[in-house]
Structure 1
Amino acid sequence: MDRFDAMQAFARVVETGSFTKAAATLHMSKTSVTQLVQQLEARLRVRLLNRTTRRVNVTADGAAYYERVLRLLADMDDAETSLSNASSAPRGRLRVDVPSPLARFILVPALPEFHRQYPEIQLDLGVSDRMIDLIGENVDCVVRGGALSDQSLIARKVGDLQLRVYAAPDYLARSGKPSHPGELEGTHHRVVGFLWSRAGKPFPYAMRRGDEQVLVHGRYVVSVDDGNAYLEAGLAGLGVLWLPDYMARIPRARGDLLPLFEGWQLEPMPLHIAFRPNRHVSAKLRVFIDWVASLMAEHAPVVRPAPGAEPVSRRTATTGSGGQVP
């Protein structure tokens, strides 16, 4: 028995709650993972896991052992890093999940420079607007827009997305240009709906001008759960959009989208990088987090509130579901 492989297999079973899922993330057979854990239990002469037909639960002894295994695996990773000079040249596989528009407009175009700096990092980039199970899917970190609903995660705020309202010229030619956000609740206008991943439904947008604040639900003929599709629906003239500046920059410069409601404000959407508290922050993860933070400092810097300023009510903000960037 390779004790390192056995400890790694045991830790992954605890994290995923399943021999099958653990085997998939380790790229091993379920039989091999099962045998490694059984051999580990035989060596330690304690039961680490309770198995049922539906679930694998860690025992009290297993939970205590798991905490020590995590520290030991982290120490081994640090030892290998120091011996291979990886602290100056981080290497290895990094699994990350990011919202699709952020990947399209910011991260992917900048990746050549990232890989020039860190050629030994193999990046597995999941691109989606769905909520990610970091443990079950063995993801090192996620980039999320909006309020984080999972308070068990460690998060670093890396940016604030400034939201504004836009519509395509074709849409405005057909429906007219609204002069007040409240007009979007009428029968003449439509919005493009965005289905937030946790709730599976659109949320109202809170907009403010001076002391006046309105909630805009709007009527829609199409609602989507992907940020790139959301943008394309707006460009096709299917309704009014709420977009971060980075998504609107190119179509606005081309005249494909026109801004609405100048003078009205929306609360910025915070952008975080999040990871599990028991996930060892390796050198490769640290440099990736710093790289994303530097990119967002250029494209969507963190907003420092003015003294005495009151934000738009978070109760009414669209980020309350912990969704991804629209």
Structure 2
Amino acid sequence: MPNLQTLLIFARVAEMLSFTRAAESLGIQKGRVSTVIRGLEREMGAALLHRTTRSVQLTEDGRAFYERARDLLAEAQDVQSMFASSDAPLKGRLRVDMPTELAKTVVIPALPQLLDANPELTLEMSSTDRRVDLVQEGFDCVIRLGPIIDDRLVARALGKLRMVNVASPGYLAKYGTPQTLDDLLTQGHRMVHYTPTLGARRDGWEYPEGNGYASLALPGAMQVNNVQTYHAAGLAGLGLIQAGYSTLAHHIERGDLVEVLADLRPEPLAAWLVVAHRRNLSPRVRAFMTWIERVLEPYFD
């Protein structure tokens, strides 16, 4: 029977579809990965991977073997940790991804506390605003904001992040400070439009109405497709913006941005910790989920 180290190496190659990336993620030589996979295929009496000079793909036997190997590795991890103290320091590597601005303004400043308490934990953090592929890119978990559109993933709700309406002091000096929705129109206000794809249909100004939320069409001189640019446009006085309080709190505290229409805030933004499979909820991931929830809690609505 293959040992657990062999199963781990095979599973990492199957997930990343690359001998080189699998070796890098495990901190071993590429030659060792190749040797282990060849030995595993001989032992199992089946080809588990299709190899070409440019790609690696699972065979049908390889897919079936990977499903069983993944479950066995998860069970082994559960057995290994079943008697461990919940207060025991975390060990090993944890690879996570999260939105760039959330990482920069909220998570990174809080990380020294986590890493000081867990000196043997190695954190690999990706910060990007695209939706990464958890399996192909080898992520243990990711933090996502908004709706979860892939029902193959396992998502654990963290909370709902407060959204705010803000503008720069210079913008408000020019256009006035709106007190009502009507003021947005009568005072001639403008908004910066955010869309993931430039040229896409622009959303309007979101506000609560009845038991839901409605949208008011407002003009704007600028459309952006990047969160950092969106915030920068608001700071530059190019228009009103609607964004997460967690990423704007420091600007509001310094007076660079001013909240307006506080009683008409947009719908809170759901925050999730997402894994590719329920078996990916290792002790490290569970501990990170508890920690990140505490970090974000002050910003929940």
In structure 1, the partner of 2:42 is 42
- 1:276 maps to a residue whose letter is A
Q: Residue by residue, what CA displacement relative to the aligned partner does 1:117-175 show, whole Å, maximum 9, x if unpaired?
A: 33322222222222212112211111111001122111111111121211101112234
Q: Percent identity?
A: 32
> CA–CA distance in 1 between the matches of 2:50 and 2:186?
58
Q: 1:50 to 1:156 in 2, by over 3 A?
A: same
Within 5 A, what are the aligned runs for 1:31-180?
Answer: 31-51=31-51, 55-78=55-78, 80-81=80-81, 88-178=88-178
CA contact (8 A) 2:246 2:299 kept: yes
- 2:256 maps to a residue whose letter is D
**SS of residue paired to 1:57:** strand
> CA–CA distance in 2 between the matches of 1:79 and 1:44?
25
Q: 1:202 to 1:100 in 2, by over 3 A?
A: farther
CA contact (8 A) 1:185 1:216 kept: no
> What count of residue pairs does the alignment treat as equivalent?
299
> CA–CA distance in 1 between the matches of 2:114 and 2:143?
17
CA contact (8 A) 2:175 2:187 kept: no
CA contact (8 A) 1:17 1:57 kept: yes
Q: 1:26 to 1:293 in 2, by over 3 A?
A: same
Within 5 A, what are the aligned runs for 1:137-286?
Answer: 137-178=137-178, 181=181, 189-196=189-196, 203-210=203-210, 213-216=214-217, 218-221=219-222, 223-227=224-228, 229-277=229-277, 279-286=279-286
**SS of residue paired to 2:160:** strand
Q: 1:250 to 1:57 in 2, by over 3 A?
A: closer
> CA–CA distance in 2 between the matches of 1:207 and 1:135?
37
**SS of residue paired to 1:263:** helix
CA contact (8 A) 1:246 1:299 kept: yes
Moved more, 272-281 or 250-259: 250-259
Q: 1:105 to 1:36 in 2, by over 3 A?
A: same
CA contact (8 A) 1:167 1:258 kept: yes
Q: CA deviation at 1:275?
A: 0.8
> CA–CA distance in 2 between the matches of 1:163 and 1:297?
14
TM-score, structure 1 normalization: 0.77
> CA–CA distance in 1 between the matches of 2:183 and 2:37?
63
CA contact (8 A) 1:89 1:118 kept: yes
**SS of residue paired to 2:71:** helix
> CA–CA distance in 1 between the matches of 2:66 and 2:130?
30
CA contact (8 A) 1:94 1:124 kept: yes
> CA–CA distance in 1 between the matches of 2:235 and 2:247?
12
> CA–CA distance in 2 between the matches of 1:182 and 1:18?
57
Q: 1:48 to 1:201 in 2, by over 3 A?
A: farther
Q: Residue by residue, what CA displacement relative to the aligned partner does 1:227-284 show, whole Å, maximum 9, x if unpaired?
A: 4x43233112122111222233333333322222343242211111111116532222
Moved more, 96-105 or 137-146: 96-105
> CA–CA distance in 2 between the matches of 1:291 and 1:52?
42
- 2:96 maps to a residue whose letter is V
CA contact (8 A) 1:87 1:283 kept: no
Q: Tell me, which stretches of 5 or more residues in structure 1 are unaligned? A: 302-326
CA RMSD of aligned residues (A): 3.4
Q: Tell me, which stretches of 5 or more residues in structure 2 are unaligned? A: none
**SS of residue paired to 1:239:** coil
Q: CA deviation at 1:184?
A: 6.2
> CA–CA distance in 2 between the matches of 1:297 and 1:147?
19
- 2:214 maps to a residue whose letter is Q
Q: CA deviation at 1:196?
A: 2.9
Q: 1:44 to 1:295 in 2, by over 3 A?
A: same
> CA–CA distance in 2 between the matches of 1:122 and 1:199?
41
> CA–CA distance in 2 between the matches of 1:137 and 1:20?
13
- 1:255 maps to a residue whose letter is G
CA contact (8 A) 2:98 2:127 kept: yes
Q: 1:82 to 1:260 in 2, by over 3 A?
A: closer
Q: CA deviation at 1:217?
A: 6.1
- 1:213 maps to a residue whose letter is A
Q: CA deviation at 1:36?
A: 2.4
- 1:194 maps to a residue whose letter is Y
> CA–CA distance in 1 between the matches of 2:91 and 2:189?
52
Q: 1:242 to 1:74 in 2, by over 3 A?
A: same
> CA–CA distance in 2 between the matches of 1:64 and 1:198?
42
Q: CA deviation at 1:28?
A: 4.7
